[in-house]
Amino acid sequence: MDHHLVPLDPDHPGFRDPVYRARRDAIARIARDHRHGDPVPDAPYAAEEHGVWRQIRATLDPLHERLVSADLLRLARTLDLPTDGIPQLALVNERLQAHGFSMEPVAGLVDARIFLMHLGRSTFLSTQYIRHASKPFYTPEPDVVHELVGHAASLMHPGVAATSRRFGRCAAEATDEEVERLTRVYWYTLEFGLVEEDGQLKALGAGLLSSVGELQRSVEDPTVPRQSLDLDEVVERPYDPTTFQPLYDVGPGLDGTLAMLDAWLDAGGWRLPSAGIRRR
């Protein structure tokens, strides 16, 4: 019988690694026992896991310089996460809180409504564990690389922070079906969106920034389908989190994309039509 606090699927890279699983359980307990407002305790990372972080950063950082939105690059330099080991969330919070956001630990994936509603309270729910060392460029679930390399710096951007809070406020009053619509738009923009900057494609979404393969594919592969961002179309499009995206949406720069999102959220584009009339 599996008595682990964190269940893993049999095909998970760390399923048969008892040492990795013990650390996953210890990190999950941090999330379980944490209370809002308290400092986040340090996660017990092993030397091997710090090595995974170094390997990923050594590969991703040069790609970011070439492929990521200029504003996000600037913010990442300001956040200045260490490259020689996994930063603890307490350290990240010391740098984020001056910009109005903080990170709190969760053991793994959380319900979409809960995640979005916390954004409305200027809190980003973050995992702390790192992917298994046997597959440093693959993770079947969001890990600390995704949270910190993908999301953390963007939360320092006033526009991204404000739009994130808007998503949270909308989720607080949405039906379950409307939360799914909000999640789709968040997915195709702040997770996997592209933008056009000075006539060039650049990555915006955190899922792209934290994935070596998908970052290169989404921006540089000429055979990959892309289209101009249309939120009324995106809101109706389901997504598959288990594979590369089959289509990427391109917004009009970071500020232009945020302006589109804000207008759409404020106008209630996420609401389900009722009797042919969209609720306000």
Separation CA 176–CA 261 (nearest Å): 20
Residue of 104, 147, 178, 191 marked active site:
191
Separation CA 35–CA 206 (nearest Å): 26
Q: Which two tokens stand for residue 177?
A: 């079906």
Q: Where are the beta strands (DSSP E) in the chain?
A: 102-105, 123-126, 194-197, 200-203, 226-228, 248-251, 273-274, 277-278
Handedness of CA 42, 43, 45, 50 (dihedral sign): negative
Q: Which two tokens stand for residue 270?
A: 């996420």
196 is catalytic: no
3 is catalytic: no
Residue of 102, 151, 157, 164 marked active site:
151
Adjacent-strand bridge partners of 249: 227
151 is catalytic: yes
In this structure, are residues 140 and 130 in contact, taking their beta carbons and an 8 Å threshold? Answer: no
The burial class, CB within 10 Å (0-12 / 13-18 / 19+), for 169 is middle
Residue of 154, 210, 211, 218 marked active site:
210
Residue of 12, 146, 147, 178 marked active site:
146
191 is catalytic: yes
| Residue for token pair 């949406």 | 249
- 266 C-beta neighbours (distance < 10 Å), count: 11
Q: Which two tokens stand for residue 30?
A: 């941090």
Catalytic residues: 146, 151, 191, 210
